[in-house]
Each structure stands twice: as C-alpha cells, then as structure tokens.
C-alpha cells in the first residue's frame, strides 16, 4: 500500500513538472516581442518600440509600455503648456482645445503613475479591473484631446507640432492596455466567480453613510455659501474615498453657474431639493466657440462623486448643436434622482465607471454619449423635437479600442417621447428616433429589460457614416418590452446581437462596473444583477 502511494506520488510529481514546463515554454514563446505584439492593435509599432537587445516577459512589457506612455504624456503636457503661455497669438477656439489637452494630459500622468506603482505588487482581481479602467480612460482622454482640434478653427502651427506625439501616444496607450489585458485581466477573469449577491437589492436610506461634513448653499446668504462653486472650492482636498462624504446641500433655486469638480475633490456629495427645484443651468455650445468638452454646465472628475435630487440643464437649444449639460469623468460616480436637460449631447458619460439611478435624460442627437463604463438603471430617456431634417439618436458610444472595458448599459429603463416630440397619433412629428449610432469604431451599447415605446424606428439603430464600425461595434438587446421593442425588423449588422441572460449578465452592476464594491457606501439603491 505504501509502495503504491509512493509510486502515485512520484507519477503525480512528474506530470505536474511536465505540465509546468509546457506552460513555461508556452509563456516564454507567447511573451516574445512577436508573440505579444501581434495581439495588440498596433503590432508593427509595438515591435519597433520594444528594445531589440533585451528580452522582456509579458509582465516586463506591461511595465515598459506604461513607462514609455508616461514619458510621452509629459512631453505632450510640456508642449501644450508652451503654446498656452502666449494664448493671445492663437485663435480663441484653439486655446480651448489646448486647455482640454493640458487638463487631460495631467490626468493621464496621474493615471499612468498609479498603474506603474500598482503593477509592482501582486494584484487582487478587483485591482486588475481598476487598472484596466484607468488604462481605458487614458485612451479616452487622448482621443478627446484629438477630437477637440477637429471642432475648432484649424491652426496648423499647433496641430502640426502636436500631430506626431499625439499619434504615438494613442499607440503607446493602446499597446499598454492590450498587454495588460492579456497579462493580467485574462487571468483575473478566469479566476473570479460570479457575485453571490447578484439578485439582491441594496436599498438603504440615503445618507445613512459616513458623513465627514455637511454645508449649505443658499443664494440668499443664509447658508454657508452663496454659490455651488464656492462650496466646492472650500471642500477638503484628497480625502480619499474611504473617509466619508463631504456633503453639500443646495437649497431650491436656479443656479446660473458653470461648475467643475476637480480631481482633488474626492467623495463629494451634492444634494438638492429635487428635480426642477434645485436647478443648475448654463448655455455654452460648440457653435458659440467652446469645445464639446468645455460646453458642459456641470463637469466632474473627482473620484467617488454623488449627486442627488438636482436638475442639470443646458439651454443653448437645438440650433447650437453640441451643448452638454453634464460631463462626467469621475470614477465610481453616482447620480440618483437627477434630471439632465439639453438637446444634442446632453449627458457626456466621458470616462471611467458611472452609475445613474432613477434619472431623467432629455435630448435629441446623441444625447447620451461618451466612453465611460456607464450603467443607467430605472431611468427615463425622453427624446425631444430636434431641428428640421435631424433625427434623434439616444446613444452615441465612443469606444475606440477593443480592449477598453467601456460601454453604455441601459437596464430597466423607459424610453418614451418628450411632450414636444408628440406621440403615435401624429407619428411623433415625422421624426425618426434610434436607440443609438456608432460614434467610434468599437461602439458598445446594450438595452436590457427596458420599456421601449413606439417612437423607436423598427430598424432600431442607425449608421454613423456608411458602413463605418458596423462590423466592429457591439450593440445588443435583451428582454425589452413595449411597442418599439419588436426586433423582427432590426438592423442586420455583424455587430448587432440579440443576447441571452448569460451574456446580458456581463452588463450588470456587479460585473460591468464592479458596483457591489463601491455603490453600497453611497446609500443609493441598486440592483446588482438581472433579477
């Protein structure tokens, strides 16, 4: 008996060692420059960038490319800064585009530094998704910089000088993301099981959370501050997202302010008196010389932001084209019982992970757009009456890279016409309305378990330009209902899908935005899964 056990143990050891050798050989082969670079969107660039005289493992490459990315980001920041030192020699609209690039480059430097610091240590599965989110956002930030120059008056002296570093940065960021996805995310995905609480609903009373401070904004002077901007400016810096919320209560009123929550203001909670009672309003637009990025009435990048019971409005109107009410680039951010009102480009879900619960969104062309991992749950989308010869597109998702963990997920929502669009009796004023169209090549949007009224065109989705992105996008529908949910005449694009429950689960709170990790502390109710 003992002899047999010894033989079995020896055989097991030999099999284990043989398997380990096979795995090690495969790993060595696949992490050569040719093997790893061929899995990136820019294989030739990847191969020529890697040092030819030095072998780098896949993990070493995952460190090498972010280091190169950080270097070129600093180069871009310095170059843009040099132009902004004398802005009066540059067209005003170009100055806005440069300002966008400067701010976004600064964010990218922070994100890359965080990534490089984190990958020096063993990563838990949730940390892997955090870093993939940062690397995805870095690409988005750079693309936003490029897009800004397309919206403004051409100024070749600036654009020609920036062309090469901006292009190289996109390739470095994309390669960094691809290698990280292959080296870490794939392993985390295979070892992480599904949530054990996907069918629970967290429904605690809002503000039964740790509150660090509470101040009041009232324009009549009876509060701590007369403006929202003053209250945000006075909020503590860099408190982290585990130290309780700094709560700013904004009493009912109309606030004509352009508000920005910077990266230093973390865990800020803005609480109003209700939709259409506490209203933040502005009217900036691209037609009036702003970039889309800067047209926002309200903009936030501070991690852990929460807004409750507020209306955010851009009153520029449909004739002014892109005019953003809210631009959100804050990771782990939440909007609860809020309203977003505008026409084209109302809600800019710019980057990182976002959750919207029981909100109203009004608009016309591409009125929910951007490249965050954004999940909207129990919200109402109200397409409005657009300009003559325009159509409505509810979403225009901006994923530019197949490795980005971004998209727009719409769950348990209600899509009905705003009052000015009309109803079925007048054929919605003859306006065609679509679920979305592909702003960027890998656009990704999912509608699931939602009511879709008859205003949605039977084809469901619309092209952006010819056959652009129709084979690379990912558009999907699951278990929707209502007159506009009939999929029998939907588009037949390669990238369009009718998905089952298993695939739909990938776009729920617990998987798509890892919401069970951070939403409970907000006190905002959410459903983690499909049930």
* 7 in a structural domain: no
160 within domain boundaries: yes
Question: 180 and 216 in one domain?
Answer: no
Number of structural domains found in the chain: 2
Does residue 220 share a domain with residue 139?
no
Per-residue pLDDT of the chain (531 residues), as tens digits, is: 444 444 343 333 333 333 333 333 333 334 455 578 999 999 999 999 998 877 888 778 888 999 999 999 999 999 999 999 988 888 888 999 999 999 999 999 999 999 999 988 888 888 899 999 999 999 999 999 999 998 887 788 888 899 899 999 999 999 999 999 987 776 655 444 444 333 344 344 454 444 456 899 999 989 999 999 999 999 999 876 566 899 999 999 999 999 999 999 999 999 999 999 999 999 999 999 999 999 999 999 999 999 999 999 999 999 999 999 999 999 999 999 999 999 999 999 999 999 999 999 999 999 999 999 999 999 999 999 999 999 999 999 999 999 999 999 999 999 999 999 999 999 999 999 999 999 999 999 999 999 999 999 999 999 999 999 999 999 999 999 999 999 999 999 999 999 999 999 999 999 999 999 999 999 999 999 998
Give the CATH number for residue 311. 2.160.20.10
In this structure, is residue 239 part of a structural domain?
yes
pLDDT at 77: 97
Provide the CATH number for the domain around residue 136: 1.20.140.40
Whether residues 165 and 231 share a domain: the answer is no
Check whether residue 413 and residue 376 sit in a common domain.
Answer: yes
Question: Are residues 144 and 243 located together in one domain of the fold?
Answer: no
Q: Are residues 236 and 167 in the same domain?
A: no
Residues 164 and 219 in one domain: no
Among 152, 187, 222, residue at a domain's last position: 187
On whether residue 27 sits in a domain, the answer given is: no
Instruction: Give me the catalytic one of 100, 345, 360, 366.
Output: 366
- On whether both 339 and 488 belong to a single domain, the answer is yes
Q: What's the rounded Cα separation, in Å, for the pair 28 and 33?
A: 10
Q: List all residues 6 or more positions away from 456 whose beta carbon is below 8 Å from its beta carbon.
A: 415, 433, 434, 435, 484, 485
Q: Is residue 39 part of a domain?
A: no
**What's the pLDDT score for residue 19?**
33
Mark whether 98 and 219 lie in a shared domain.
Answer: no
* DSSP secondary structure, 12-60, as one string: HHHHHHHHHHHHHHHHHHHTSHHHHHTTSS-HHHHHHHS-TTS---HHH
- The answer as to whether 440 is a domain residue is yes
Q: Residue 340: what pLDDT?
A: 98
Residue 146 is assigned to a structural domain of this protein: yes
State the Cα–Cα distance between residues 228 and 461, nearest whole angstrom.
Answer: 39
Sign of the torsion formed by the C-alpha atoms of 491, 416, 350 and 510 = negative
> pTM for the full model?
0.90
Q: Are residues 127 and 241 in the same domain?
A: no
Pair 424, 484 in one domain: yes
Is 22 contained in some domain?
no
217, 178: one domain: no
Q: What is d(CA 309, CA 359) in angstroms, rounded to the nearest whole number?
A: 9
pLDDT of residue 52: 81
Residue ranges making up the domain that contains 323: 211-520
366 is catalytic: yes
């Amino acid at each position: 008996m003992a002899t047999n056990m010894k033989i079995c143990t020896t055989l097991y050891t030999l099999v284990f060692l043989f398997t380990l050798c096979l795995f090690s050989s495969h790993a060595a082969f696949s992490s050569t420059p040719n093997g790893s670079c061929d899995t990136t969107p820019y294989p030739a660039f990847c191969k020529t960038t890697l040092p030819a005289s030095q072998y780098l493992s896949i993990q070493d490459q995952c460190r090498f490319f972010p280091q190169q990315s950080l270097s070129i980001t600093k180069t871009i920041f310095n170059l843009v800064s040099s132009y902004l030192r004398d802005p009066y020699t540059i067209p005003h609209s170009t100055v806005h585009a440069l300002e966008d690039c400067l701010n976004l480059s600064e964010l990218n430097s922070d994100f890359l530094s965080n990534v490089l610091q984190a990958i020096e240590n063993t990563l838990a599965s949730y940390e892997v998704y955090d870093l993939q989110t940062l690397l995805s956002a870095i690409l988005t930030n750079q693309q936003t910089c490029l897009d800004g120059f397309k919206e403004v008056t051409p100024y070749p002296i600036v654009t020609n000088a920036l062309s090469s570093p901006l292009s190289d940065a996109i390739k470095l960021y994309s390669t960094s993301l691809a290698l990280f996805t292959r080296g870490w995310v794939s392993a985390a995905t295979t070892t992480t099981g599904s949530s054990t609480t996907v069918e629970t609903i967290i429904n605690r009373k809002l503000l039964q959370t740790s509150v660090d401070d509470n101040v009041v904004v009232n324009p009549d002077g009876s509060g701590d501050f007369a403006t929202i901007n003053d209250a945000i400016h006075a909020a503590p810096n860099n408190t982290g997202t585990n130290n309780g919320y700094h709560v700013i209560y904004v009493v009912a009123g109309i606030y004509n302010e352009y508000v920005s929550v910077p990266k230093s203001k973390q865990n800020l909670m803005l609480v109003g008196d209700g939709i259409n009672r506490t209203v933040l309003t502005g009217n900036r637009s691209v037609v009036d010389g702003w970039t889309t990025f800067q047209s926002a009435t309200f903009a936030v990048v501070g991690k852990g932001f929460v807004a409750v019971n507020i209306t955010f409005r851009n009153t520029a109107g449909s004739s002014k084209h892109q005019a953003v009410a809210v631009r959100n680039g804050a990771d782990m951010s939440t909007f609860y019982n809020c309203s977003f009102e505008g026409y084209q480009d109302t809600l800019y879900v710019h980057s990182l992970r976002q959750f919207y619960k029981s909100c109203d969104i009004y608009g016309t062309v591409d009125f929910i757009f951007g490249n965050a991992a954004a999940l909207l749950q129990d919200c109402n989308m109200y397409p409005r009456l657009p300009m003559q010869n325009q159509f409505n597109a509810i979403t225009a998702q901006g994923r530019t890279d197949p490795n980005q963990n971004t998209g727009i997920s719409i769950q348990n929502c209600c899509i009905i016409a705003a009052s000015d669009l009309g109803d079925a009796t007048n054929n919605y004023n003859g306006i065609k309305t679509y679920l979305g169209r592909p702003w960027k090549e890998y656009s990704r949007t999912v509608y699931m378990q939602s009511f879709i009224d008859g205003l949605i065109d039977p084809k469901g989705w619309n092209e952006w330009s010819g056959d652009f992105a129709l084979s690379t996008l990912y558009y999907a529908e699951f278990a929707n209902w209502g007159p506009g949910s009939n999929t029998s005449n939907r588009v037949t694009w390669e990238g369009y899908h009718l998905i089952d429950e298993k695939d739909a689960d990938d776009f729920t709170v617990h998987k798509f935005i890892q919401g069970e990790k951070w939403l409970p502390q907000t006190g905002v109710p959410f459903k983690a899964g499909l049930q």
